[in-house]
Structure 1
Amino acid sequence: MDAEITLLAGTAGTTIATLLATDMWNGVRNGVLALWGRVRPDDQERVATQLDTSRRDLLDAQADGDEEAEGEVAAEWRGRIRRLLVAHPELAAELRSLLTELAPGALTPVTVTQRATASGSSRVYQAGRDLNIDQR
């Protein structure tokens, strides 16, 4: 479940950071606050402040041409969401629903198709991710 939580938190953090600087920011804010409020209602005001600060940071960064800011905000929200899900894994289904509502393609798995043809004594190496080759 830990890898699943990490992956879900990563998607959520990126989605939150991306949408906070758009017209959808109110929906993101309300959805995140509702999620938090289910298990930590006393933290809602603090989380609301963090969301508002993240939005201002993103808008300022866009105005200044700072392309790294979105990644930094996404990393902050990945961590916050991951810690929330570790403490309350029962929120995972609700978070998935929120992400599907806000960004329908966010949870769609990516399909990779690879084709290769080798002839003679040639070799083909393909990988969908990491590939280590030790030729001795």
Structure 2
Amino acid sequence: MEAELTALAAAGATAFVQHMAADSWAQARDRLVSFLSRFSRHRVGEEDLIEGELETSRSELTAALRSGDEQTALDVEAEWRTRLRRTLQANPAAAAELRAVLDDLAPGGNDQRDVNVHNTISGGVYHAPVIQTGILGSFNHGTPPDRV
């Protein structure tokens, strides 16, 4: 059971850190605040504190990604992995809810098929295909590999 909770905490931390660097951050933040405050030992008034900690982590992460500071990006993920693991150890019943949150936040998890999207590209002449995407499904904290 311990290994399963540790793996779930790691998956949760990875997913939340990926969302910190994406447009989907507000939704992920709100879900994590709700989850952590529900299973917190202190509960009352905890939401603002957790949200502040998450926003601090997001600021640290985005600054680290801009400057190529891979260690700080890894530290942010490790911090939330530890926090989630401790939460799950204190209340193993929270695992089912964390899995549900992760499923909802996964690409295609909340099934928004009826959303209309309109993309406009302007500001230049493009002599090649232009590709626009949302979540790609993986996130690399480091620098991209050299191209050959």
Which TM-score applies when normalising by structure 1?
0.71
Identity of aligned residues (%): 40
SS of 2:70's equivalent in the other structure is: coil
Which amino acid is 1:16 matched to?
Answer: F
Separation of aligned partners in 2, 1:102 and 1:4: 20
Root-mean-square deviation over aligned CA pairs: 1.5
Note if contact 1:18-1:70 (Cα within 8 Å) is conserved in structure 2. Answer: no
Map Cα deviations across residues 47-76 of structure 1 (whole Å, 9 max, x no partner).
Answer: 111100011011111221222322111100
SS of 1:61's equivalent in the other structure is: helix
**Residue 48 of structure 2: aligned partner:** 45
Map Cα deviations across residues 2-29 of structure 1 (whole Å, 9 max, x no partner).
Answer: 1110000011111111111110110111
Note if contact 2:39-2:87 (Cα within 8 Å) is conserved in structure 1. Answer: no
Structure 1 stretches (4+) deviating beyond 6 angstroms? Answer: none
List gaps (5 residues or longer) in structure 1: 106-136
**Residue 19 of structure 2: aligned partner:** 19
**Residue 92 of structure 1: aligned partner:** 95
Which TM-score applies when normalising by structure 2?
0.66
Alignment pair present for 1:82 and 2:60 = no
Give the Å deviation of 1:104: 4.5
Separation of aligned partners in 2, 1:55 and 1:89: 27
Larger Rg belongs to: 1
More helix by share: 1
Separation of aligned partners in 2, 1:73 and 1:103: 20
SS of 2:23's equivalent in the other structure is: coil
